[in-house]
Amino acid sequence: MKIAFIGMGNMGAPMAANLAAAGHDVTGFDLADVAVAGVQQAPTIAETVEGAELVITMLPNGEILRRVYADIIPVAKVGACLLDCSTVDVQSARDAHQQSSDAGLLSLDAPVSGGVGGATAGTLTFMAGGSDIAFAFAESAFEVMGQKAVHCGEAGAGQSAKICNNMLLAVSMIGSCEAINLGDKLGLDRQKLFDVVSTSSGYCWSMNAYCPAPGVGPQSPSDNDYQPGFAASLMLKDLGLSQQAAEQVSAQTPLGAHATQLYQAMVDDGQGDRDFSAMLLRLMQANSA
């Protein structure tokens, strides 16, 4: 398949490289001068999109998505599918679908979970919103870039699923950090606490697979001085999107709101480039304050 890939940053570059390695004809565009193995570089969005059957975008926010789609849609091939893998607000995703539909193009909003490691390994999870036809069109690309793609519903459903998932992730990570911090104060051995929680009712991904305490459980960013697998600043972005959506539909998310405040404080203190599991360090610092 002839594929255009727009936005080849930390996530987009390995995704594009995997598509090229799988035999797809991939042309890429990024404002930064990046070289991606197997991917032809084009100087403009229009030249990137020319003749492409599938146009993939991985962009920072909804405002940029709208601008890029305004450049893509007039030059996109008739019948092409526009696959946006960015994490943006739900309304921007729905507007992008409407723009595409008005031009006779297929479209999907399909944000990802799995981070840079998953993008590189081709083990991402895609949460897709859009028509059955569009989802079927993009399935072969999903199979190369990820291990799972879930068709969550119509336009905007992918973004909705992503922000619900990441709000829950933030809450569960803070809960895991609080449990470890309390255990420390009570004199519990961290490994013993992990052995209990990871096999009982406290079981959760944040503890079992991504334990915020170094030397406990599987390897995670805590074992690498909290170098980010998923930066606190990105978690704050997703939490902000969740709270914006909650306000729009009058959904009560008190723990999500408090998690947003805690990660906002972390970013404000200059720790946004640390992994989001470094919340444990903040709780420990508060102990000694």
Backbone angles phi, psi at 183, to 5 degrees: -60, -40
- Residue 237 annotated to the active site: no
The burial of 78, by beta-carbon neighbours within 10 Å (0-12 exposed, 13-18 middle, 19 or more buried), is given as exposed
- The answer to whether the beta carbons of residues 54 and 107 sit under 8 Å apart is no
Cα separation, 260 vs 280, in Å, equals 16
- The answer to whether the beta carbons of residues 232 and 275 sit under 8 Å apart is yes
Question: What is the per-residue burial (b if ≥16 Cβ within 10 Å, else e) of 12-41?
Answer: bbbbbbbbbebebbbbbbbeeeeebebbee
The contacts of residue 147 (CB under 8 Å, 6+ apart) are: 122, 123, 124, 125
Backbone angles phi, psi at 10, to 5 degrees: -60, -35
Cα separation, 62 vs 92, in Å, equals 5
Cα separation, 282 vs 181, in Å, equals 10
From the candidates 2, 162, 192, 237, give the one annotated as an active-site residue: 162
Active site residues: 162
